[in-house]
Each structure stands twice: as C-alpha cells, then as structure tokens.
C-alpha cells in the first residue's frame, strides 16, 4: 500500500512539474545615460514652459486632461486600421533649473498604447435527456470590445525633437507678446 501511495505521489509530482511553465525572462530594457532625448532647458519659468507645452499639445489635437504650473498631460486617439486603435499620452513635467527660477527643465515622455477589436460570439447550450447537449449560437451579432495588446514608451529622438521645437515656438511667441 505504501509503495502504491509513493508511486502515486511520484506520478503526481512529475505531472505537476510538466504542467508548470517557466516564466519568460527578458533582458533589462533600460540603459541610463546622460542623453537628452526626454528633456530640454528653456529660458522661461516652469509655469511658462508648461503653458507652452499645453498650447503645443492643443495645436496638434490632443485633449489636455491635466494642466498645472508644473505638469501637463494630454492624450490623442488614432485608428490606423479598422480593427486597431492607438492612444498616445504625452506628459510634460516642468521644474526650475536656476536659483531665480527663470530657467526651467522640461521632461517629456510619450506612451503609446495599442488596442485591437475582439469579437465574441455568444452561444447557449441545451440539454436533451438521452441525446446529450446541443450548443446553438445566438442570432445576435455577438459582442465586441477593445483589448489592450501593447504599451510602449516612445523612444524616437526625432519625435521629441519636433515636440520641443513646437514648444520653443510657443515660448518665443509668448516672449514677443510681453511688454518691454
């Protein structure tokens, strides 16, 4: 009896070991360095820099959800294909970089999230005694939902460079409008 129990336990542990899947390991995705892809210095206060960032986002069709003196966040939706959806979220943080507060450092990150349309058909099962069960689809069109399939921080230097150029343009416009 003990031998049967031991054999059963050995089979069970072997079965469970075979069912387990090892977690996939990824190399670190980040290398910290002194690159300036995500930040720039501006001859303006943090509030002026974030206001220029707000205007830059609005000028490109972004919906600004947060607009503070030190933080601006906007989002924009794209539909590159019939069953695909992208959402871009851009966040700008403005901090002072001088003792008098007239120079600021702007940090920008853009996150792109990808979604796809998932269709699901609904069905019902009907059990009939002696025959078994029959599964029939509903005649309705089924359900559709967007399912998130990816999320990525944009790392393109040219993307950020174009944003910073636009931001600088709004800062220059604001500076030209100030009385002497």
Residue owning tokens 């600088």: 168
pLDDT greater than 60 at residue 18: no
What pLDDT score does 17 carry?
A: 53
Tokens of 121: 């058909």
Question: How far is 52 from 177, CA to CA, in rounded Å?
Answer: 13
Give the ranges where the chain is alpha helix by DSSP (H): 2-19, 46-59, 157-177
Residue 34 confidence (pLDDT): 61
Domains annotated for the chain, with CATH where assigned, are 37-121+142-180 (3.30.310)
pLDDT exceeds cutoff 70 at 107:
yes
- Return mean pLDDT, the chain: 82
Whether the per-residue pLDDT at 177 is higher than 60: the answer is yes
pLDDT tens figures, 119-175? 876 655 556 666 566 555 554 556 788 899 999 999 999 999 999 999 999 999 877
């Amino acid at each position: 009896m003990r031998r049967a129990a031991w054999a059963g336990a050995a089979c069970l542990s072997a079965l469970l070991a075979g069912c387990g899947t090892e977690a996939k390991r990824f190399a670190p995705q980040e290398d910290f360095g002194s690159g300036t892809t995500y930040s720039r210095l501006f001859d303006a206060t943090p509030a002026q820099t974030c206001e220029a960032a707000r205007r830059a986002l609005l000028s490109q069709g972004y919906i600004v959800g947060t607009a503070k003196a030190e933080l601006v966040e906007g989002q924009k939706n794209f539909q590159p294909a019939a069953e695909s959806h992208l959402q871009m979220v851009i966040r700008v943080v403005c901090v002072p970089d001088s003792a008098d507060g007239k120079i600021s450092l702007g940090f920008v990150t853009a996150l792109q999230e990808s979604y796809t349309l998932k269709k699901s058909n609904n069905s019902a099962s009907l059990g009939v005694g002696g025959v078994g069960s029959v599964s029939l689809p509903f005649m309705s069109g089924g359900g559709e939902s967007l399912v998130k399939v990816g999320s990525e921080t944009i790392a393109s230097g040219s993307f950020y460079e174009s944003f910073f150029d636009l931001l600088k343009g709004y800062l220059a416009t604001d500076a030209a409008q100030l009385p002497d």
